[in-house]
Structure 1
Amino acid sequence: MLVLLPPSEGKASAGEGAPLELESLSLPGLAGAREAVLAELVELCAADEEKAREILGLSEGLRGEVAKNAGLRAAGARPAGEIYTGVLYDALGLATLDKAAKRRAADSLLVFSGLWGAVRVTDRIPSYRCAMGVKLPGLGPLAAHWRAPMAEVLPAAAAEGLVLDLRSAAYAAAWKPKGGVAERTATVRVLHAPTRKVVSHFNKATKGRIVRGLLTAGAVPASPAELVEALRGLGYAVEAEATGKAGRAWSLDVLVDDVH
């Protein structure tokens, strides 16, 4: 099973320590595309703080993120699972998983990123600010920049197993599973059962809990249909729509009563 996650906008400080080793990151086929984004981002942020802040969509209060980006090559690095924070990652609680679940997380979780493309939670990265929706002056829109290298690398990462796609739309734009991979892919919406509306905060928290539940239970669904059964076994109310069309992903709705 391969689980595709969005990053968090806010990130923990990496602190001091050994800096980034770009060549050590998982999915080495993305190395060239990573270096291109990193080089332009560092140069932009070192040369013109105001221009960088505008391009990155940062408020005045986040001005310090520009200087952080300018120093990325020398900054301390930590496992990505410790860098990403926020509602989904709080609910996932990687640090509190048992050893077996942590091993499964290392093997199955893939976090998408405007800067790195996609990383494993064990990959050591510095804290940074660069969303997938950013348009860099030289490279252009980052989602478009990542599509070709992602299309080369991710089908092999998905292998023959289930792909559980929990990404937000901006990050899903960087790679769309196709063909047989798409047929083994399931996307998830979390809906408030009485209103059938998406509740943003609870949507993220529930997705984090879903991933934690699967990791803790040692569930290894091999298909979207098996994922539905696994989620129901964890106590979730799930409605599934199988498109019945070749090369199309399944769409799952998880219905919840509590939105707090």
Structure 2
Amino acid sequence: MLILLPPSETKRDGGVGAPLDLDLLSHPSLTSVRREVIDAVLTLSADRDAAVRALKLGPKQAGEVDRNRAILTSPTMSALERYTGVLYDALAPQTLAPDALGFAASTVAVQSALLGLVGAADLIPAYRLSFDSRLSFERGVPSLKRRWAPTSGAVLEERDGLILDLRSEGYAALGPIPRRRGAHYVRVLARDESGNVRALNHFNKQAKGLLTRALVEAGIDFATTTDLLDWAATERYELAGAADGSGDLELVVPEVAGSPDRLMAVLRSDAA
């Protein structure tokens, strides 16, 4: 099983790991593109004003350019710890037991705009780059999608077993999942008190983070979609898909007014 997560715009500072070593990252077939993207980011970062414009930074975010200038020299930490924000707050990797972290290392990958698919335990620096950032490359148009989609897509094509894609659409485009049974894009929907179901916007990321946490804590390498859906039913997660194991999966959660913490509390109590 492979769980694909989006990165976050915000990232934790610091780290105790040695500077980035591309040869130690998961999926070595991506190394040449990683070098190309890093070189383009470093070139852009040499001109602060151009970098601020290209990265769409506000007046108080200019320090992100310094982060990018130090990509090859700054300390690293695991990808699962590096990313912050709504999804990762719900996942709360710092509170996972060692067994769950070990399972995550083999089953969770993050779609980085800078480094492509990275494993949960891969050591990465802080940086600022989005799926729609425009960079100057020696070859071709300044599109990260054109750089990552063929190579990351090939990695996923070669992956056997169940794939759960929890990435946002912009990051999913950087590494399309294969069109086959057992490879699923997961959509989050909300059911209100009247039973009506609609797309879930603000709390989408919390729900994905909680589902990921439940999966890595369960520690089950599901072989088929049916196995996954059976588990979800026993854990009282409303996760549904086509009977033949193809197409999207839908995670339906209760529509909760108020804070994100309240949604997390409801989901946790429902799954208990």
TM-score by length of 2: 0.86
> What secondary structure is seen at the aligned counterpart in 1 of 2:20?
coil
CA pair 237-15 structure 1, distance change in 2 beyond 3 A: closer
Q: Which residue of 2 aligns with 1:127?
A: 126
Residue by residue, what CA displacement relative to the aligned partner does 1:1-36 show, whole Å, maximum 9, x if unpaired? Answer: 100000011000024652111111111000000000
The ranges of structure 1 where at least 4 consecutive aligned residues each deviate by more than 6 angstroms after the TM superposition are none
Q: CA deviation at 1:50?
A: 1.0
Q: Which residue of 2 aligns with 1:153?
A: 155
Bigger drift between 192-201 and 122-131 goes to 192-201
Query: Per-residue displacement from partner, 1:65-94 (whole Å, max 9, x unpaired)?
Result: 011101211111111111111111111111
The alignment partner of 1:200 has SS state of: coil
Q: Is the 8 A contact 1:6 1:166 kept in 2?
A: yes
Q: Is the 8 A contact 2:207 2:253 kept in 1?
A: no
Q: Distance between the aligned counterparts of 1:185 and 1:25, measured in 2?
A: 23
Contact 2:191–2:197, Cα closer than 8 Å, also in 1 = yes
Residue 70 of structure 1 aligns to which amino acid in structure 2? R
- Does residue 186 (structure 1) correspond to residue 184 (structure 2)? The answer is yes
The residue identity in structure 2 corresponding to 1:238 is L
Aligned-pair CA distance for 1:155: 2.4
Work out whether residues 19 and 126 of structure 1, in 8 Å CA contact, stay in contact via their aligned partners in 2. yes
Secondary structure of residue in 1 paired with 2:202: helix
**Whole-Å Cα distance in 1 between the matches of residues 183 and 218 of structure 2?**
20
Task: Tell me by how many angstroms 1:173 deviates.
Answer: 0.5
Distance 1:17 1:253, change over 3 A: closer
Q: Which residue of 2 aligns with 1:87?
A: 86
The amino acid that maps onto 1:186 is H
The two structures have a TM-score, normalised by structure 1, of 0.90
Corresponding residue for residue 175 of structure 2: 175
> How much identity, in percent, do the aligned residues show?
36
The correspondence of residues 137-152 of structure 1 with structure 2, limited to 5 A, is: 137-138=136-137, 140-152=142-154
Q: Distance in 1 between matches of 2:135 and 2:214?
A: 38
**Alpha-carbon separation, structure 2, partners of 1:57 and 1:197:** 31
1:255–1:37 Cα change, 3 Å: same
Deviations 1:199-250 (A, max 9, x none): 33311111111111111122332222222222122211233245x69xx533
Q: Give the CA deviation at 1:170.
A: 0.6
Query: Which position in structure 2 is the counterpart of 1:208?
Result: 209
Q: Judge which range, 136-145 or 26-35, deviates more.
A: 136-145
Runs of 5+ in structure 2 lacking a partner? 258-262, 264-272
SS for the counterpart of 1:140 is: coil
1:213-232 to structure 2, matched below 5 A, reads 213-232=214-233
Q: Which stretch of the first structure deviates more once superposed, 229-238 or 193-202? A: 193-202
1:42 corresponds to: 42
Which consecutive residues of structure 1, in runs of 5 or more, have no partner in the other structure?
Answer: none
CA gap of 1:240–1:249, structure 2 versus 1, over 3 A, is closer
